[in-house]
Structure 1
Amino acid sequence: MTLPLMIFAAGKGTRMAPLTDVTPKPLIRVGGQTLLDRALHQGETAGVGPIVINTHHLGHQIRDHVAGRGIAISDESDLLLETGGGLRKALPLLGAGPVITMNPDVVWTGTNPIAALIDAWDDRMDALLMLVPLAQTHGRRGSGDFSLDPHARLIRKGDLVYGGAQIIRPDRLAEIAEDAFSLNRLWDLLIAGGSAYGLIHDGEWCDVGRPDCIPLAEALLDG
């Protein structure tokens, strides 16, 4: 199954300041490779296509970085739309049907999360989120996001952290009136309908949202 991939690269990266004063967070290097290239490699290895990246903060740097690689840009330079609004704007570039979305500001060990999501996806699902047990996370502040019922459906609150990768059907984005909004709004609709599921990652994961997370991520990758 070949699915399109949307990489969210439009955020301002305020937690990563001052590094993001001059460099967009997806282009920050961890272990000698940009976060964006790590995410792209996971998608390309899993056979996704087409690939779309949204841009806002220092977006010209991201556009230049991927030039000539067959990647489409969804430009949000006029208005930052958050994850939900950003996905909705990019839909003409992604095509109809389920979409993989990925946050590039994390690193993973273990199975390629995109490949694992594709293998586990089936037609009863409207969303399948990759989740990481809190004990297997690094750089994470605060509690988890979700738990799962016996059928692997999402329940709000618990010790499972959303890892920043999912497959989701975007159809119900049309029900949300705002231009800029979080994908949490769509998740809530799908959770209420019993069609949002979770898959537990088999490796470890690091949030790379702050400067102090970079050495944590590099140590995880070196381990």
Structure 2
Amino acid sequence: MDEAPSAMIFAAGFGTRMRPLTDTRPKPLIEVAGRPLLDHALSCVSDFGARAVVNAHYKSQMIAAHLADTPVTVITEAPEVLDTGGGLRNARAQLGSDPVFTMNSDVVWAGPNPLNILAEGWRDNMEALLLLVPVERTVGYTRSGNFSIGNGGQLQRDTSGMVYTGAQLLRTDRLDAITQDIFSLNVLWDQMLAGGAAYGVTYPGHWADVGTPDGIKLAETMLQEHGDV
């Protein structure tokens, strides 16, 4: 990778589970511990030394205004939101051709910078490296697991396994062959899983899913108990 890798932060969703707070602002601008969720993610990117690209759709003007005096590139998706895979492909010109970090903007970390963990675990034979966390080190997460890590670190879909944290490092070449305009990153992952090129690594800290209003207090309590990134 180049000395200044790129990181895509997904911030285009509608935040329906966060209503009524998202009636007046996009979810990435809802505050946790005195900072917008988006700023928690951007701190990880800037501390790592990467350049940030943020996509926006719902109340995109508010996100653009929030980032107006920063070096962050904002890409507005219109007229439709493109989902994670479509949003990543839409941003490729700004992200470059090297492997790209991606992060969700509705999570909070307590522990080491997740981008450091991904960079340390990356190998040339990988097409994707997903950051996972055991369920017992999550807060605010009420669904089943997503993946497990098999022999040699290869990723396996497993609903009884660990939770995908929303952070990963991946190659974007396969995006060119996907015909849909709007699609999830799951489409890309399925191709990589089939080829044995998707891997996982475990996050050693704690992780909060801030998807609902109740999740805000849970995340703040986690930060008080375990510390911020």
What band does the TM-score fall into relative to the shorter chain? over 0.9
Determine if contact 2:155/2:193 at 8 Å carries over to the other structure: yes
1:24 match? 26
**Distance apart, 1:56 and its partner CA:** 0.2
Residues 202-213 of structure 1: pairs in structure 2 closer than 5 A:
202-213=204-215
**Distance apart, 1:141 and its partner CA:** 1.3
**Distance apart, 1:205 and its partner CA:** 0.7
Count of aligned positions: 222
Secondary structure of the corresponding residue to residue 186 of structure 1: helix
Of stretches 155-164 and 53-62 in structure 1, the one that deviates more from structure 2 is 155-164
1:160 match? 162
Question: Where in structure 1 are there 5+ consecutive unaligned residues?
Answer: none
CA distance in 2, matches of 1:22, 1:16: 11
Aligned amino acid, residue 172 of structure 1: R
The C-alpha deviation readout for 1:8-36, integer Å capped at 9, x for no partner, is: 00000011011011110000000001100
Secondary structure of the corresponding residue to residue 212 of structure 1: helix
Residues 8-157 of structure 1: pairs in structure 2 closer than 5 A:
8-49=10-51, 51-157=52-158
CA distance in 2, matches of 1:150, 1:215: 37
Structure 2 residue aligned with 1:5, among 4, 7, 14? 7
**Distance apart, 1:70 and its partner CA:** 1.1
Question: Where in structure 2 are there 5+ consecutive unaligned residues?
Answer: none
**Distance apart, 1:77 and its partner CA:** 2.8
Secondary structure of the corresponding residue to residue 54 of structure 1: strand
The C-alpha deviation readout for 1:187-211, integer Å capped at 9, x for no partner, is: 0000110111101000111100100
Q: CA RMSD in A?
A: 0.9
Secondary structure of the corresponding residue to residue 179 of structure 1: coil
CA distance in 2, matches of 1:37, 1:141: 24
**Distance apart, 1:60 and its partner CA:** 0.4
Determine if contact 1:57/1:77 at 8 Å carries over to the other structure: no
The C-alpha deviation readout for 1:99-146, integer Å capped at 9, x for no partner, is: 100001011111110111112112111000000011111111121000
Determine if contact 1:128/1:197 at 8 Å carries over to the other structure: yes
Aligned amino acid, residue 195 of structure 2: G
Secondary structure of the corresponding residue to residue 91 of structure 2: helix
Aligned amino acid, residue 75 of structure 2: S
Which 4+ stretches in 1 moved above 6 angstroms? none
- Give the fraction of aligned pairs with identical amino acids, expressed as a percent: 50
CA distance in 2, matches of 1:24, 1:126: 32
Determine if contact 1:59/1:77 at 8 Å carries over to the other structure: no
